[in-house]
Structure 1
Amino acid sequence: MKMRQLTSLVLATIVCLIGLIGSTQAQLQLGFYANSCPNAEKIVLDFVHQHIHNAPSLAATFIRMHFHDCFVRGCDASVLINTTSNNQAEKDAPPNRTLRGFDFIDRVKSLLEAECPGVVSCADVLSLVTRDTIVATGGPYWEVPTGRRDGVISRSSEATANIPPPSSNFSRLQTLFGNQGLDVKDLVLLSGAHTIGIAHCSSFRNRLYNFTGVGNQDPSLDPRYAANLKANKCKTPTDNSKVEMDPGSRKTFDLSYYSLLLKRRGLFQSDSALTKDLTSLGLVQKLVEGPIEEFFAEFAAAMEKMGRINVKTGTEGEIRKRCGVVNS
C-alpha cells in the first residue's frame, strides 16, 4: 500500500511539473478578451474588411512581419518598437527594413485603446491582423488563441541573428527554425507564404551575378528563369527592382510556389534549399500532388504553432499603450 501511495505521489508530481512547463502556452486561449474587451476581435476584423481592399498587398507584409516578430524573443510585438537615440530596434535591422504597414497596426491599436484602454496587446493585434488580412485576400483561415503580452526589448542585432536570410542553405534554415521549436514540415509549410508578395533584387541578385564570388550564376537556378529576371527585372548587379516571388500568381494563395520550386524557379536560395533535402523535397512533392484544401489545413496548423513561440503571458511584459513605444 505504501509503495502504491509513493508511486501515486511521484506520478502526481510529474503531472504537476508538466503542467507548469506547459502553462505559458496554456494561458493563450481562444476568446481571451471575451470578458475584458468583448468586441476586440470584431474591431480588428471590421477594420481589416474596411481597409485591406485599398492595399491588398499588405497581407503578404503582415505575414512576414508576424514571422519576423516571432523569431526574435517570441511573438511579443518587439518588431513594432521604434528605434531610440540609444537603441537600434528590430524594425531597423536589415531583414526588416522593407517591412511596411506599421501605421495600419497603429490605427487598429488606437481603436482598441478607445474601446478598452490597456487591455489588448500589440502582439495579439499583429497576430489577428495577419490572419484576418490573409483570409480577406483569399488565403487560409487559422485559429488565433490570444492572451499574448508585449515585450519591452527590441534589438536590431537579435533580428539579424535569428531571422533566416534569403541566402540560407538548408542546414541553416533547419537550425534557425529548430531554435524556435519548428521542424522541417513547419519550414516547408511556412515557406509557402512566399506564394504571395514581392521581393527586391538585392535579396537574390548574387544568384544572378556573383554566386560564388567570381561573377557566376547559381547553377541550381533555372537558366531561362534567370535570363528572364536579368532581362526584365534585375537588369544590373545594382538594380533593386521589385520582383514577384510567385510569378503570375503573387496575388493568389495557392500551390504555385511549390510547383515552381520543382522547376528550379524558387526566387531565393532559401526557397531552392527546400529541394536539396530529401525530407523537405518529399513534403514539397506531396503538397503539389495534393488538394489545395490539404495545404490550407496544414499551413493553418503551422501558423498557429508559430504564433505560440515563446509568448509572454500572465504578468510577463506589458500591454503597450502605443505599439511603437514601450510604456514609460
Structure 2
Amino acid sequence: MKSAYYVVEFLVLVEVILRGGEALSMNYYGMSCPFVEPIVRIVVNQALHKDPTLAAGLLRLHFHDCFVQGCDASVLLDSTSGNTAEKDSPVNLSLRGYEVIDQAKKFLEMQCRGIVSCADIVALAARDAVSWVSDLRFHLLKLYFEELQCFSKKNTILLKTWQNCLHLILFDEYFEAGGPYYDIVKGRKDGTRSKQEDTFTSLPAPTLNTTGLINVFSQHGFTVWELVALSGGHTLGVARCSSFKSRLSSFDSTHDVDPSMDPTFAKTLLSTCSAGDSATQPFDATTNSFDNLYFSALQKGDGVLFSDQTLYVSPQTQQIVNFFAMNQAIFFFNFQQGMMKMGSLDVKEGSQGEVRANCRKIN
C-alpha cells in the first residue's frame, strides 16, 4: 500500500513540476491530458475539410478574444437576460467558429473532464487553422486514425486505448501544411466577465489609419513589426462590404473614392457592394491559403479595408510590407512571434479564472 501511495505522490509532484505551479507552460497538460493538442487538431482539420473558410473564422475568434480582457475565452460566453456579452457586440456579430470550439471541448471533456480550459482550446484551434492539412493529407491522417481505432468511420474521436493513440501525437506532427506552425504555452484559465462595452475601444476599427493602428496595438504591447505581421492574418478570409464601403463614395472633401486604391480594384469593390452590405470581398487572391499575397495586394493598391491599405501608404510601415511581400519566410517568422505574444496577453492563471464545463457559460 505504501508503494502505491508513493507512486501517486510522485505523479502529483511531476505534474506540479511540469505545470510550473500554475504558470503557463508548454507541458501544462503533460500528465493530466496528454492528448489535448492532437484532439483539438483533428477536430479543427475535420471542420476545415468541410468548410475551409472557417480557418479565417478561428483565427479571428482568437484575436477578438485576446484583445478584449486578455485570452480568457470571454468571447465565447453567451449573453444572459441581464447582460449583453462580447459576442453580441456589433463588432463581433460576424465571428465564426464557435461550434468548432464546442466540439473540441466535448471530446476533451470525455477524455479528461474539467482539465482543459476553453481559452487554451481557442488558442490551439487558431494555430491549427493557420497550419491546417490539405484535403489529401487529411484523408491519409483520417485513415491512420481509423486503423488505430482512435477515429471512427463516423468521424468521431474514440481514443479507445492510450497505447494505440500515443502514436497519434508523433504521427500528427508530420502533417503540418499551409501557414506557419508555432508552439503554444498552455494553462490559461477561463474568465467570468463578458460585456459588449469592453469591445468598443479594444479592437482596431477597419477605418483606422496607421497612427491609430499603432496606438491600439501598442496598448497591448505590440511593436510596429508585430502590428504589420498580425495584420497579415487577413491573408485568410473575406471582408463585408459594410466595413469598406466608406472608401467608395464621399471619401473626403476632395475625393469621392479613396485615392490609395487602384482604380480598377475600386470598381471591383463597387461591384461587390452592389449586392448589399453583407456581400463579401476576399482579402487576396488565395482566400483559404495562408501565404504572403495579402502584402502583394497592398503593393498594388488592392487592400480591401482602409486599415489594410494604410499599411502600404504610411512611411512607418511601407518597408515592412515590402519585406513581407518579398519574402514569405520573413513574414511567417514574424507572424509566429506575434501570435505567441498575442496568446499570452493578460491571461488568467490559477485562481484568477476557472475551467468551464461549457464554453458558452460560466460554471
The TM-score normalised by the length of structure 1 is: 0.87
Task: Supply the distance in 2 between the matched residues of 1:67 and 1:213 (Cα, whole angstroms).
Answer: 34
4+ residue segments displaced more than 6 Å? none
Structure 1 residue aligned with 2:298: 261
Change (3 A) 1:139 1:90: same
1:308 and 2:336 matched: no
The amino acid that maps onto 2:230 is L
Cα offset, 1:199, TM superposition: 1.1
Seen in structure 2, the aligned counterparts of structure 1 residues 321 and 166 have a Cα distance that, compared at 3 Å, is same
Q: Is the 8 A contact 2:248 2:257 kept in 1?
A: yes
Which residue number in structure 1 is paired with residue 74 of structure 2? 78
Displacement of 1:293 in angstroms is 2.2
Q: How does 1:146-225 map to 2 (within 5 A)?
A: 146-212=186-252, 216-225=256-265
Aligned to 2:356, what secondary structure does the other structure show? coil
Shift of 1:279: 2.9
TM-superposed deviation, 1:212? 3.0
Percent of aligned pairs with the same residue?
Answer: 42
C-alpha offsets along residues 43-91 of structure 1, whole Å, 9 cap, x if unaligned? 1122223332001111101111100110000011101010111111110
Distance 1:159 1:167 in 2: 16
Secondary structure at 1:136 match in 2? coil
Report if the CA contact (8 A) 2:260-2:309 is conserved. yes
Distance 2:254 2:70 in 1: 39
The residue type equivalent to 2:299 in the other structure is L
Find the residue that maps to 2:352 and give its secondary structure. coil
Give per-residue Cα distances to partners, 1:160-219, cap 9 Å, x unaligned: 221101111111111110111111111100000111101110010010123238992112
Q: Does 1:241 align with 2:279?
A: yes
Q: Secondary structure at the match of 1:157?
A: helix
Letter in 1 for 2:267: A
Find 2:24's aligned residue among 10, 23, 28.
Answer: 28
> For residues 143 and 225 of structure 1, what CA distance do their matches in structure 2 show?
38
Q: Could you say what secondary structure the match of 1:209 adopts?
A: coil
Paired residues in the alignment total 299
Once residues 40 and 289 of structure 1 are traced to their aligned partners in structure 2, the CA distance between those partners, rounded to angstroms, is: 36
AA paired with 2:322? Q
Residues 62, 126 of structure 1: 8 Å contact kept: yes
Distance 1:275 1:214, change over 3 A: closer
**Alignment map for 1:11-26 (pairs within 5 Å):** none
One of 32, 52, 55 as aligned partner of 2:51:
55
Shift in CA distance, 213/111, structure 1 to aligned 2, threshold 3 Å: farther
Q: Deviations over 1:275-328 (max 9, x none)?
A: 2332311111111222x222212211111011111111122111111111011x
Mapped to 2, the partners of 1:173 and 1:49 lie a distance apart of: 32
Structure 2 unaligned segments of length 5 or more: list them: 1-19, 134-177
8 Å CA contact 1:170–1:277 kept in 2: the answer is: yes
Equivalent residue number for residue 125 of structure 2: 129
**Distance in 1 between the 2:29 and 2:61 partners?**
23
Indicate the residue corresponding to 1:16 in structure 2: none
Residue 252 in 1 paired to residue 289 in 2?
yes
Unaligned runs of 5+ in 1: 1-23
Letter in 1 for 2:246: N
- Among 307, 314, 339, which residue is 1:270 paired with? 307
SS at match of 1:315: helix
The answer on whether the counterparts of 2:237 and 2:283 sit within 8 Å (CA) in structure 1 is: yes
**Match of residue 21 from structure 1:** none
